[in-house]
Structure 1
Amino acid sequence: MKRKLSMLLTTVLVSASIIACGSQGGATENADEAPAAETAQADATDAENESATEDHLARIKAAGKITIATEGVWSPFTYHDPETDELVGFDVEVAAAIAKKLGVEPEFKEVAFDGGLTGVTTGTFDMMANGVDVTPDRSETYDFTDPYAYDHAVVVTLASNDSISSFEDLNGKTTANSAGSTYEAMGIKYGAVVSNVDTLGETMTLVLNGTVDATINANTSAQDYFNTTGTTDLKVAAVDSEVTMYAVPLAKGSDNDSLRAAINQAIAELRADGTLSEISVKYFGADITAE
């Protein structure tokens, strides 16, 4: 009986020892797994934090490209070459030169003028290059870079029209302009009834066929249209004394501080080395990049 009891106690002790060893091994494995899981979680958190702290310029450089909104229908700023259908123009070349300075590829997206501005605000596009002039109203929504070109707004009418010789004479008249453009706003400001169209050519056609009394546009674009078409049926009836400054609009906020600084530096370098002037003369026959 004592022998059986002794053997039973020995079996219980051995079993307890095995269980204890097994439990200790499991605890060790769990202990090893915990730091690994914690490390993975920490790495993921660090990656999220790093991504969150990257600003717009860093994201553009990481992508290797910058998306640029432009109309593609406003000669000579942004349009398609009639022979090759290639997207060309003053703004197209300036934007491409800026992208090169940033060390990324330009990716142009052709949209309506107001759609381009909206896309910059929502982050659909990184920037816009389309002869966007700086105004107090726009400056409330966008952070503008330094200007890269200067111009004047003009009123274009039929050469035979003697009723309009100033912006004030637009009161009660009809004009045609791109939706969301400064020129549309100017027409409304001076009391005109404004029709919205998509292209510069359409605005001129509506004036030529008498559908509207006038169009407000950039002097550079008007002169280019006159020279390209050879028309003598249109004239510049009035010139705005205020200088129009063309700049790059960016979404407001500190996320774009370094991008705006980088673009400003690019513009300064392109002006200093004569690139801006060269592009301007190519498309306008004159340098509009110096105030």
Structure 2
Amino acid sequence: MKNKGLFFILMVINALVLAACGSDNSGQSGSTESSGKSDQKWTEVQEKKELVVGTSGTLYPASFYPEDSDKLTGYDVEIMREIADRLGMEVKFEEYGVDGLLSAIKSGRVDMVINDMEVTEERKKQFAFSDPYKYSYSTMIVREDGLSGIEKLEDLEGKVAGGGATTVFAEISRHFGAEVKTYGNVTNDVYLRDVENGRTDLIINDYYLQSLALKALPEIEVTLHPDLKFHPTNSAIVMPKEADTLKQKVNETLKEMREDGTLTKISKEFFGGKDASKKPDEEIREIEGLDL
């Protein structure tokens, strides 16, 4: 059995390159080959009637084990269960540390990944992403006493940030001059207590995840920075680059779930009544000079 956790994400993988040459007939053959490859993953999952999905199981409230329970749940998990059900398939979750999730797609161990994965232009070159199922932005956990000496993002110079080694949040920290202390697949109390006791100064992560982590552990003397909201984000399901038909089926299902209110219902269940499936109204700072 596992406890609730706050964990972080980022990703890398390879792209499919098709070459066409010669006559019109060659071009048609290349088009047929491309179509076949784009349908291959969909055909594969249809035949086995099962979606194998990578997730961490430690990211509260997206993918986690409730206290005293051995059943995986969370916003992302329940969205994926609903998608699989509407596609007439079973779903099997495979758990990996955040830095291993995308490698699992590359190796073919999973068909897709759902774990609050942020969509970036660089990653879109290497993966297929569904339409977003969650919209958010980044915030910062700091000590209650003095806000860890941070008034603005530029004050991260010389500070120590806790996080995963290959996450967007780590990149933001480094961009502003912070040192990043990395962790394995640990639960959120480890991160928060390190900020409280001064081993680290801050944690940058998703607004919804950090808000709920603080609510779950009110005894730890840390807080969300009241003035810093930055880096608007979209989270989506990640698939192999060439899985066009699978992506289409997933997007069609997500659209149905958005229109019939299912995404809103699941979000409010896991995000304290808030609808993370819709874009926030707040003014969010874009970070310039950082290619994510």
Normalising TM by the smaller chain, what interval?
0.7 to 0.9
Q: Are residue 88 (structure 1) and residue 73 (structure 2) matched?
A: yes
The answer as to whether partners of 2:133 and 2:235 remain within 8 angstroms in 1 is yes
User: Aligned match of 1:241 in 202, 225, 230?
Assistant: 230
Q: Residues of 2 paired with 1:132 and 1:107: CA distance? A: 18
- Aligned-partner SS, 2:61: coil
Alignment of 1:85-234 (within 5 A): 85-162=70-147, 163-197=149-183, 198-199=185-186, 200-231=188-219, 233-234=221-222
- 278, 282, 286: which one aligns with 2:265: 278
Output one character per residue of 1:72-101: Cα deviation in whole Å (capped at 9) or x when no partner.
111111111112121111111011111112
Normalised TM-score (structure 2)? 0.78
Q: Deviations over 1:201-257 (max 9, x none)?
A: 32212112211111111111111012112236111125333321010111212xx00
Q: Secondary structure at the residue paired with 2:266?
A: helix
The answer for unaligned runs of 5 or more in structure 2 is: 1-32, 280-292
Deviations 1:2-40 (A, max 9, x none): xxxxxxxxxxxxxxxxxxxxxxxxxxxxxxxxxxxxxxx
Pick the aligned partner of 2:275 from 240, 263, 287: 287
Partner of 1:3: none
Counterpart of 1:95, as a letter, is M
Whichever structure has more helix as a proportion of its residues is: 1
User: RMSD of the TM alignment (CA)?
Assistant: 1.7
How many Å apart are 1:130 and its aligned residue? 0.4
Q: Provide the C-alpha distance between the structure 2 equivalents of 1:137 and 1:240, rounded to a whole number of angstroms.
A: 23
SS at match of 2:258: helix
Q: Which amino acid aligns with 1:269?
A: E
Identity %: 27
Question: Contact 1:145–1:263 at 8 Å: present in 2 too?
Answer: yes
TM-score, length of structure 1 as denominator length: 0.78
Deviations, residues 95-122 of structure 1 (Å, cap 9, x unaligned):
1111112211110011011101111123
CA drift of 1:171 comes to 1.7
What is the alpha-carbon distance in structure 2 between the residues aligned to residue 260 and residue 129 of structure 1? 13
2:221 and 2:116 mapped to 1: Cα distance? 26
Change (3 A) 1:102 1:147: same
- Structure 1: stretches of 5+ with no match in the other structure: 1-48
Q: In the alignment, what sits opposite 1:74?
A: 59
- Aligned-partner Cα distance in 2 for 1:114–1:144: 18
Q: Give the AA of the match of 1:243.
A: P
